[in-house]
């Protein structure tokens, strides 16, 4: 079987199973299977694929047709300006979360020497993207999932940032290390009863621990805000990702915990997505 015919068959299989972008996905998975880039595939369409590579490709196609996200199949996801390793132990980074990085960069300079805490760090994509842009920043990431911390460490090594970041396996309630100039967090904020309505590739494959915000979607947010009020320095900036309908309730929680709400940012879909606040 050559490259061209393999791609055609992969596309047909994915299309028959109503997978979006079937040809692109087929191309990406073939690149992964033969360890070659897109340019190679285009220029070598008649090249015969080794049997072992074809078996790998068919396995990827079978998993993709069941809805498993491309990012988990390739263990890669672009976020901000970098490529991150991801697997089923962490959420797949999304473009809307890049708002957090944008805001941190707007409130600091390359000369700034600040300590940044990321609560619920997951893949580490937020924290690592920030300190990659700010050479004098030092970062700390915590997560309740030991597996997530392992992924974060992989990404820190890939980005050559291990000398400026530390990761701790800890729930937010038990973390007591340091005082921070900036705290960022993308906590679980989906209401428990709403989880079943998420897209199939999310609800079936992404870690529920990183999605489930409790009955009202705010249980983890309350804990993060409460702990941040203790760990953040006076006048420190707190940037928190929220659900599209949580703005007013989260603002009340922030004010109760001693924060001044600076502004609420909308995402690319014009939904309320991030709240920027300052510790009074």
In whole angstroms, how far apart are CA 242 and each of 44, 150, 174, 237, 239? 46, 25, 23, 16, 10
pLDDT in tens, the chain (280 residues): 999 999 999 999 999 999 999 999 999 999 999 999 989 999 999 999 999 999 999 999 999 999 999 999 999 999 999 999 999 999 999 999 999 999 999 989 989 999 999 999 999 999 999 999 999 999 999 999 999 999 999 999 999 999 999 999 999 999 999 999 999 999 999 999 999 889 888 999 999 999 999 999 999 999 999 999 999 999 999 999 999 999 999 999 999 999 999 999 999 899 999 999 999 9
pTM above 0.75, yes or no: yes
The average confidence (pLDDT) of the chain is 96
Paired strand residues for 272: 266
Helix (H) or strand (E) run with residue 117 in it: strand 115-119
In whole angstroms, how far apart are CA 20 and each of 11, 24, 48, 75, 127? 10, 9, 27, 19, 31
Which distant-in-sequence residues (6+ apart) come within 8 Å of 206 by Cβ?
A: 69, 88, 91, 92
| pLDDT given for residue 84 in this prediction | 98
Paired strand residues for 240: 185, 275
What are the backbone angles phi and psi of residue 198, rounded to the nearest 5°?
A: -70, 160
Give the C-alpha separation, 193 to 198, whole Å.
10
| pLDDT given for residue 189 in this prediction | 96
Paired strand residues for 237: 182, 278
> Both tokens of residue 9?
């068959």
16-35 as b/e: b if 16+ CB within 10 A: eeebeebeebbbbbbbbbbe
Question: Which of 231, 235, 238 is CA-nearest to residue 277?
Answer: 238
> Both tokens of residue 25?
């996905």
Q: What secondary structure letter does DSSP report for 76?
A: -
| pLDDT given for residue 17 in this prediction | 95
> Both tokens of residue 120?
């619920």
Q: Tokens 């967090």 identify what position? A: 185
Q: What secondary structure letter does DSSP report for 93?
A: P
Question: Which of 240, 257, 247, 271 is CA-nearest to residue 103?
Answer: 240
Torsion of CA 89, 23, 53, 76, to 10 degrees: -30
| pLDDT given for residue 58 in this prediction | 96
Torsion of CA 156, 188, 119, 267, to 10 degrees: 80
| pLDDT given for residue 200 in this prediction | 86
């Amino acid at each position: 079987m050559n490259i061209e015919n393999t791609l055609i068959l992969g596309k047909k299989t994915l299309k028959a199973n109503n997978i979006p972008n079937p040809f692109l996905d087929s191309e990406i998975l073939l690149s992964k299977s033969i360890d070659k880039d897109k340019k190679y595939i285009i220029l070598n369409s008649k090249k015969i694929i080794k049997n072992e590579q074809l078996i790998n490709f068919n396995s990827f196609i079978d998993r993709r047709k069941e809805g498993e996200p491309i990012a988990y199949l390739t263990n890669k996801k672009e976020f901000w300006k970098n490529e991150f390793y991801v697997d089923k132990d962490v959420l797949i980074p999304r473009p809307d979360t890049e708002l957090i990085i944008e805001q941190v960069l707007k409130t600091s300079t390359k000369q700034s020497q600040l300590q940044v805490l990321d609560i619920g760090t997951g893949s580490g994509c937020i924290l690592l993207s920030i300190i990659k842009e700010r050479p004098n920043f030092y970062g700390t990431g915590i997560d309740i999932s030991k597996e997530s911390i392992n992924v974060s460490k992989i990404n820190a090594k890939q980005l050559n940032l291990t000398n400026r970041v530390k990761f701790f396996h800890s729930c937010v309630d038990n973390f007591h290390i340091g005082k921070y100039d900036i705290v960022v967090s993308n906590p679980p904020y989906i209401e428990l009863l709403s989880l079943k309505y998420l897209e199939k590739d999310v609800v079936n494959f992404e870690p529920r621990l990183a999605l489930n915000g409790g009955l009202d979607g705010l249980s983890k947010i309350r804990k993060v805000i409460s702990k941040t009020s203790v760990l953040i320095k006076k006048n420190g900036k707190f940037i928190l990702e929220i659900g599209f309908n949580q703005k007013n309730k989260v603002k009340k929680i922030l004010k109760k915990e001693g924060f001044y709400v600076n502004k609420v940012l909308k995402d690319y879909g014009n939904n309320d997505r991030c709240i920027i606040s300052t510790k009074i």
